[in-house]
Structure 1
Amino acid sequence: MSKISHHQLRIIGGEWRSRRLRFPAIDGLRPTMDRVRETVFNWLQHDVEGCRVLDAFAGSGALGFEALSRGAKEVIFLEKHPAAAVQLKENLQTLGASNAQVWAGDALLWLTQNPEPFDLVFLDPPFGKNLLQPALDSLQLLPGALIYVEHEATLKPQFPDKWQELKCKNTKEFYFRLFEVEEP
């Protein structure tokens, strides 16, 4: 069995600011960049504390760890790759975070079987795998929920009608957006 090399990410705000966490070097695993995370959490600055968070397609867990560091009540990490899921669990232990769980399995399967209410959802699936639209179609959220979506620039996802886009930025490679589920 070959040894997996590791990379590091830095938590940029909150209780664990400047803490570095390891993540495995896995093809296609791309943690949300520091400057993008900083923008996203500036958008969310008053909306993270005390909320239930879902980090679907967690990968390195950068978004979920950032939410925990900033006072999220609970974070559920969904990650299919076994090495990434193990590293997420190890990082939670390192931080002493007892208010988070890692579900090692298919995020789309979990979404269809667990229509739980979350206050904040991070959707940043691996690029080029056609996972975003099925995830969007599977999410069942209550009014007021916030959804962060990151997707490749070439993708034209169909967002649910009841989602209001609050913020949107893009680079040449990808878009990152924040939505809120509207009241009926």
Structure 2
Amino acid sequence: MRRVVVGATGTPGSLAALHRAAAEARVRDAELWVVLAWQSPGGELGSRNGLGPSVLAECRSVAVGRLREVLDTAFGAGKPGATLAGLTVRGTPGAALVDTARDPEDLLVVGSGSRGALRRFVRPSVARYCLAHAACPVLVVPPSPLQAELDAAHRRNFWRIPLDPRELAG
């Protein structure tokens, strides 16, 4: 059966991608696979330094709980309208998504997120990784225009810049 694979973190961008993926799954009569990638504390180097199986099991358990929260936030009591499969994968987000969507018949949906220069330097783009490495089509969902306005309001509040009432009229 065809699959629509989407990454989920709970951010507004990933929730937008999740809703778009659900719509694509309905249109394509495909299964919706929601993937949450997780890493052990300290990344792969940290897991080599003596983290026991109990710590890794606890990390996986937290990831499963987080995936349930994300799905509950996205769909609530409603259903996505497609067969839903939740999957937690140990690894980096880009690699986890590409490995899950390995069939050419799959569709991989990712959010593009808002990417400032500092954020691009600290954390590479998952969307770019998926576009470069996926064996299937990739749909990149842009952030909501409302998210850009919200980010601007947060920046204005952080820097204590007063709101110009003329901005509200436009």
Greater relative contact order structure (CA < 8 Å, 6+ sep):
2
Structure number with the higher helix fraction is: 2
Query: What TM-score comes out, normalization by structure 2 length?
Result: 0.43
Structure having the higher Rg? 2
Query: What TM-score comes out, normalization by structure 1 length?
Result: 0.40
